[in-house]
Structure 1
Amino acid sequence: MTLTRILVTCIALSVPAALLSQGAEIAFGGLSQDTGLPVEVGADKLEIDQADGAATFTGNVEISQGEMVLTAGRARVIYGADGAITEMQASEGVTLVNGGEAAEAAEAVYSIEAGTVVMTGDVILTQGSNALSSQRLVIDLARGTGTLEGRVRTIFQPGAQ
């Protein structure tokens, strides 16, 4: 567990019940993304499954597309019939960063065609000095919005941007 995750969890547990909910949609403009941009993947190891053509990257995985960067311990890249990437499944400590916004989770699935990233498992989202946590975050990259689901806890800093 990272220091950031520990601090946010401790602070989130002290938030008044009035700020807690089962789901919340938030502006996610810093993570809006053109899904047509090239995707670059780097890792320590690559295995290709000849049966389905999927590629599994392990060890210090870094996936970038434009300004968006996703890091994880493992990522499986799924290709369509035309050879284009259709989906990326990341696990083992996922962090997604773009501009001043960042999200951490246990796992993430990036659907290129749908333009969505679904992060699950102890999600922590930071936007500047504000922090939110939940069990699931769905990011719509085209609209620049995110929906937190599960037990949502928020920390808003008065006067913060």
Structure 2
Amino acid sequence: MRIFGAVLAVCIMVLPMAAMAQGAQVAFGGLKHDSSLPVEIAADQLKIDQNTGLATFTGNVLIGQGTLRLGAGSVVVEYTTQGGDVQNMRASGGVTFSNGAEAAEAQSAVYAPGSGQMVLSGEVVLTQGNNALAGERLVINLSDGTGTMEGRVRTIFQTGNN
């Protein structure tokens, strides 16, 4: 999937249909999500520190919440020491994120389940069907399906004539 992202990023930079901007508002209809659903995590290893409220998952980490999927090399989960509620998840190491037909890749991501906000950072590439969007930072509000791509934004919109 990382190779696909690199190829897509190169295509985004060289294709003549690419539009350039400093920031872009994006509709994420397919990324609208119910953050109250249970979160499931699978990984090769787990280290828990109950004193700090941190759980560190490493190796082939896959997180699922409803139809939302996030994969990474490692994820640090911060939880409340009383009650065990998840405050946020910080993913790094080849982050992939998907929900239905929409998918994104980035170097890192922070997800706050309580607010439904996901922030992807570092060489972000988002695909929505045949369309692609790239930038340095993508902030998604999963509660209402909206988002903002920041940094040098590059995009390709398919016109349907292909």
Q: TM-score, normalised by structure 1?
A: 0.94
Deviation at 1:51, TM superposition (A): 2.0
* Cα shift readout 1:22-61 (whole Å, capped 9, x = no counterpart): 1001111111110000000000000011321210000000
Structure 2: how far apart are the matches of 1:49 and 1:71? 22
Structure 2: stretches of 5+ with no match in the other structure? none
Amino acid at match of 1:34: D
Change in CA separation of 1:133 and 1:18 when aligned onto 2, cut-off 3 Å = closer
Question: In structure 1, what is the equivalent of residue 137 of structure 2?
Answer: 136
Is the Cα contact below 8 Å between 1:135 and 1:150 reproduced in 2? yes
Structure 2: how far apart are the matches of 1:7 and 1:39? 31
Aligned-pair identity in percent equals 53
Structure 2: how far apart are the matches of 1:106 and 1:18? 23
Q: TM-score, normalised by structure 2?
A: 0.93
Count of matched residue positions in the alignment of Structure 1 and Structure 2 = 160
Structure 1: how far apart are the matches of 2:65 and 2:117? 13
Structure 1: how far apart are the matches of 2:9 and 2:29? 24
Give RMSD over aligned pairs: 1.6
Question: In structure 1, what is the equivalent of residue 150 of structure 2?
Answer: 149
Q: Does residue 24 of structure 1 match 2:27?
A: no
* Alignment of structure 1 residues 96-111 onto 2, 5 Å: 96-111=97-112
Structure 1: stretches of 5+ with no match in the other structure? none
Q: Does residue 74 of structure 1 match 2:74?
A: yes
Deviation at 1:15, TM superposition (A): 4.0
| Structure 2 residue matching 1:20: 3-state secondary structure | strand
Is the Cα contact below 8 Å between 1:15 and 1:153 reproduced in 2? no
Structure 1: how far apart are the matches of 2:15 and 2:152? 13
* Cα shift readout 1:49-92 (whole Å, capped 9, x = no counterpart): 13212100000000000000000000011112431111011000
